């Protein structure tokens, strides 16, 4: 096809604009299909909208289409149950991609219509406007450790549930252990010696005992795996450093590291507190300021670990023999942080409860400050 000199110049300029354009790709990620909305630069309407089944054939089609686009490609989708495989595929092919936090995606209060195409369009336009909050996608190794920690937590909850089920079964039939603490070896000998009056009751008792023993054995295996993982070079320095804090031993330290990764990616302690959902929610207008409960919009697993550790500061500020053993040989800077943490958080817990605050409220407030000390250790630990 021939061009006049003026037409040729116009055609060259159009090609140059296309090569310098930015393609904003919003993807609604679902197990059954991907809904894709494509915007070019500041276009008000999508240049293309389509759906594809996310199987091997469909993903190859998407990658070929992304490769055919002129200019820079920036994809985005929300984190969800489908994981990060799409992100890894897109970035491996050399295209830009971000995974964003669903809880921080802006939503219009009056918008009551939700469809996959609308979600894809909204993601693309909000990404173009810079209104989305990207998450730090873990590499495969850290994700595998995170799966290990979450499975271990699931097994722990299962053991607790089975303990309750067994104890309530015995209580319902008139058996109550009164000779010491529950689930000790002495308690188990008492349970195994019981003989129920009815045959089916005895069968249920035996099956419950077997279920508990199997789950406890599984929990022991997971604990051993976590202990071994904590000694690997990429985790050992940080895990050892975090253990100087009261309430944080190997399991808690590994849970924090598996979920959050490198703590240095948080630029300040308040940023880490917000990422854990430990900051109070607020509704302020004009001269009125109203604060409510914590936001709970961050990582629930780490939030649980931090608040659980905060209860240890309810007791005296002086460290016990186990804490002293964990702190032995640690750098001076880390020990100073741990000592300040002991004094400050114990004092805060005591003052809040003495003013009439519920201990549960105090534990959350102390947990928020404990997250700040965790952040401080995270900035120093890898230097040693």
Q: Which residues touch 252 (CB under 8 Å, ≥6 apart)?
A: 242, 305, 308, 309
The tokens of 154 are what?
Answer: 């699931």
The residue written with tokens 């909305």 in the block is: 37
- Per-domain boundaries in the chain: 5-129, 140-229, 236-383
Which residues partner with 97 through β-bridges? 75
Residues of the chain with pLDDT under 70: 1-19, 381-384
Q: What pLDDT does 15 receive?
A: 52
Q: What pLDDT does 278 receive?
A: 96
Task: State the chain's maximal CA–CA distance in angstroms.
Answer: 102
In 3D space, the residue among 256, 269, 223, 254 whose CA is nearest the CA of residue 372 turns out to be 269
Fold entry, domain 5-129:
Nucleotidyltransferase; domain 5 (3.30.420)
The tokens of 164 are what?
Answer: 């309750």
**What's the number of CA atoms in the CB half-sphere (13 Å) around residue 120?**
25
Q: What pLDDT does 5 receive?
A: 52
DSSP helix/strand/coil, 163: helix
What is the end-to-end Cα distance of the chain in Å, rounded?
67
Residues 36, 177: Cα–Cα separation, whole Å: 61
- Angle between the N-to-C axes of helices 250-260 and 300-310, in degrees from 0 to 180, rounded to the nearest 10: 150
Residues 56, 253: Cα–Cα separation, whole Å: 38
DSSP helix/strand/coil, 302: helix
Q: What pLDDT does 320 receive?
A: 85
Q: What pLDDT does 383 receive?
A: 62
Q: What pLDDT does 19 receive?
A: 63
**Other CB atoms within 10 Å distance of the CB of residue 163:** 16
Q: What pLDDT does 12 receive?
A: 43
Q: What pLDDT does 112 receive?
A: 87
């Amino acid at each position: 096809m021939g061009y006049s000199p003026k037409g040729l110049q116009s055609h060259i300029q159009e090609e140059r604009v296309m090569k310098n354009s930015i393609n904003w790709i919003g993807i609604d990620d679902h197990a059954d299909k991907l809904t894709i909305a494509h915007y070019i630069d500041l276009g008000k309407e999508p240049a293309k909208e389509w759906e594809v089944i996310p199987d091997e054939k469909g993903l190859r089609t998407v990658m070929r289409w992304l490769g055919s686009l002129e200019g820079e490609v920036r994809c985005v989708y929300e984190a969800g149950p489908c994981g990060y495989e799409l992100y890894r595929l897109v970035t491996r092919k050399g295209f830009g991609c971000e995974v964003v936090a669903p809880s921080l995606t802006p939503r219009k209060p009056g918008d009551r219509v939700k469809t996959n195409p609308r979600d894809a369009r909204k993601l693309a336009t909000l990404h173009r406007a810079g209104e989305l909050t990207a998450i730090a996608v873990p590499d495969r190794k850290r994700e595998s450790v995170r799966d290990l920690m979450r499975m271990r937590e699931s097994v722990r909850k299962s053991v607790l549930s089975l303990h309750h089920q067994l104890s309530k079964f015995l209580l319902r039939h008139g058996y109550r252990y009164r000779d010491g603490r529950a689930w000790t070896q002495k308690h188990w000998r008492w349970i195994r010696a019981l003989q129920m009056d009815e045959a089916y009751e005895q069968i249920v008792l035996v099956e419950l005992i077997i279920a508990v023993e199997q789950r406890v054995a599984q929990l022991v295996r997971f604990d051993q795996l976590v202990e071994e993982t904590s000694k690997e070079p990429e985790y050992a320095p940080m895990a050892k450093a975090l253990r100087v804090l009261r309430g944080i031993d190997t399991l808690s330290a590994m849970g924090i590291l598996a979920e959050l990764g490198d703590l240095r990616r948080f630029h300040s302690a308040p940023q880490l507190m917000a990422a854990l959902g430990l900051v109070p929610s607020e509704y302020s207008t004009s001269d009125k300021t109203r604060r409510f409960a914590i936001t709970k919009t961050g990582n629930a697993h780490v939030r649980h670990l931090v608040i659980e550790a905060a209860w240890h500061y309810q007791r005296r500020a002086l460290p016990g023999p186990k804490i002293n053993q964990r702190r032995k040989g640690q750098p001076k800077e880390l020990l100073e942080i741990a000592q300040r943490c002991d004094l400050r958080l114990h004092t805060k817990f005591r003052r809040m409860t003495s003013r009439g605050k519920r201990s549960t409220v105090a534990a959350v407030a102390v947990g928020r400050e404990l997250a700040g000390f965790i952040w401080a250790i995270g900035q120093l630990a890898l230097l040693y």
